[in-house]
Chain A
């Protein structure tokens, strides 16, 4: 998986801990988006023809193509379903998230 990772962020304790300026440094992710999801996209690697369409259309860029197989970063996938809708061989299934599933 080759995607940006969360940083270890501690809440500022004194005024000196605040960054200079109005924002933090770039590439500063302090919370994940996984909790937004109702359905999770699952790639059926047997059916996948690696056309990379899902990688291209993902608004969040969570599909990584650097490995042998396409991989989804579930920390930042919001479960919007664009990838499954655009997948021509229907290799992506939207599976309901469940606590005991």
Chain B
């Protein structure tokens, strides 16, 4: 498989003129995925940032077929599109779903689970910006510990969100899915390689991409990419794949950069005390110990 780089990536844009905030990581993930998948792609998007910024009547930012689905049914609608294409004998197409973290890990979980169970020919993207950003920053199942959101406020008694991120990648892998991967917009070559890989998978693929949100994370817009990279470098996010029933860790850093440096850059973590940062580190170390033990051959 040829490596995709900035040089050989097509110049043609299939997701253009959208109204996402400046520096939006999620729109970059969708943009690059659409470029790699090409114009014979049918996109299904639930309520969420990416549908809200591209389907503003009479504006339409997708240059391919795209549809807004009910919030809970990204997986079901994408599966229906795939079934329709098959019934009509339309070949060489992709049916993809682009959902946010809430639309994947909370509201759309059963539809996704059903699609994976049936082995539908779809590629499902979870654009994880770690909260419901479109509606004004509410906590989702993928919001990390210590995050200040409007529904998990930080104060004298609470550090913001009190739960760790839901283990979405392993929930999906537990279905024995054909292909699943985690990625970050800080490691774009890795992300593009995974999208390219998903194109030739028989059955369902799932790509979970971490995408910073300057508005919800309380950061300046220009650091989106470097922050997404730092999330991986400090160990709070990981790059992994699941195929043929095996987990594989794509990046196994010898040393992590300090979690403190990562969280102090962001308004949503500004209130964190040293003890709470320690808690984040302890959870990270526990997770990595398990991943290294089980996923590294």
Contact = CB atoms under 8 A, between A and B. Distances in A.
A59 B28 contact: yes
A4 B63 contact: yes
Contacts of B168: none
Nearest to A7: B58
Contacts of B21: 78
A23 B13 contact: no
Identify which of B11, B62, B68, B224 gathers the most chain A CB atoms within 10 Å of its CB: B11
B188 A57 contact: yes
A34 B16 CA distance: 13
A59 B11 CA distance: 14
Interface string B244-286: 0000000000000000000000000000000000000000000
Contacts, number: 115
A29 B59 contact: yes
A25 B24 CA distance: 25
Contacts of B20: 59-60
Name the interface size band of chain A: 35 or more
B17 interface: yes
Contact of A79 (B17, B22, B25, B61): B22
Nearest to A19: B58
Contacts of B131: none
Given A56-B6, A61-B31, A23 B11 contact: no
A78 B60 CA distance: 17
A82 B222 contact: yes
B13 A4 contact: yes
Contacts of B6: 51-53, 55-56
Interface of B: 5-7, 9, 11-13, 15-25, 27-28, 31-32, 55, 57-66, 68, 188, 214, 220-226
Interface of A: 2-4, 9, 19, 22-33, 36, 51-53, 55-61, 64-66, 76, 78-82, 84-86
Given A4-B16, A85-B222, 6 more contacts: A9-B58, A26-B66, A55-B11, A56-B9, A80-B214, A81-B220
28 contacts: A3-B13, A19-B58, A24-B58, A26-B62, A26-B66, A28-B58, A28-B60, A29-B16, A29-B59, A30-B59, A32-B17, A33-B19, A57-B28, A57-B188, A59-B22, A59-B25, A59-B27, A60-B16, A60-B31, A61-B13, A61-B16, A76-B17, A80-B23, A80-B24, A80-B224, A81-B22, A81-B221, A85-B222
